[in-house]
Amino acid sequence: MLEDQPLALFALKSEAPPLRLLRDALLKAGHPAGIGVDIAGEATETELDARDWDAAFVRWTQPELHEVYLIERNPRGSDEIADALVAQGLHGIEALSDTAGRLIVSDHLRRTQAVYAIQILPALVADEDHKGWEALDIVLTTLAGQTDGLIYAATEGFYDSDGELLLSERDTPDEEAWEADES
């Protein structure tokens, strides 16, 4: 499911939260991070307060400046990517056996107003011990909390804004039958 997008956030609010909230949450947690909206440089005060941004880079500032994530905001209805990701999500949960989880997630997906696609950048991928991995949870839960969003992580499933698993992708009827046969 969502093969091309391993991390996404499905938001019920169409307006983007200010990037300042992300930056401040990261700094409060002790992470040396900054936010930029262009290829180079930090976001200005105006850009940090804007509620209509399309993309933002999360940059690690120590020991040297490097980008760890790219967050792209895709509004529903005017963006083919958002509509496609919602459709893929709805299709992908059809085979999952958790009926209650499927109902919660499908209702949320149908009401989604914007999809945030989070791309993990090469500097982070190359270092499995990078503190940016810990900070990713802060970015996802802050965005989810501000947008009434559900977090999607490939091969795991859908999480609420507190990081609690709502629907596991690992819970398919085929896997349950296979596990029962092994007993």
Express each pLDDT in 38-59 by its tens digit: 887 899 999 999 999 999 999 9
The per-residue DSSP string of 53-120 comes to -SEEEEEE-SSS-EEEEEEEEEETTT-HHHHHHHHHHHHHHTT-S-HHHHHHHHHHHHH--EEEEEEE
Is pTM beyond 0.95? Reply is: no
- Among 102, 118, 93, 170, smallest CA distance to 11 is for 118
The single-letter code of the amino acid at 25 is A
- The Cα–Cα gap between 66 and 9 comes to 23
Least confident residue range of 93-107, 109-123, 126-140, 169-183: 169-183
Percent of residues, the chain, with pLDDT higher than 90: 79
Tell me the pLDDT tens digit for each residue of 67-88.
999 999 999 988 899 999 999 9
Structure confidence by residue, pLDDT tens digits, 111-156: 999 999 999 999 889 999 999 999 999 999 999 999 999 999 998 9
* Residue 3: per-residue pLDDT: 57
Find the angle CA(49)-CA(51)-CA(54) to the nearest 5 degrees: 110
Q: What's the average model confidence in pLDDT over 17-23?
A: 96
pLDDT of 183 above 60: no
Nearest to 94 by CA among 109, 81, 79, 116: 109
25-34 b/e (C-beta count within 10 Å ≥ 16 → b):
bbeeeebebb
Q: What is the pLDDT of residue 4?
A: 62
User: Which residues make Cβ contacts (< 8 Å) with residue 71, sequence separation at least 6?
Assistant: 55, 56, 57, 58, 116, 117, 118, 119, 139, 143
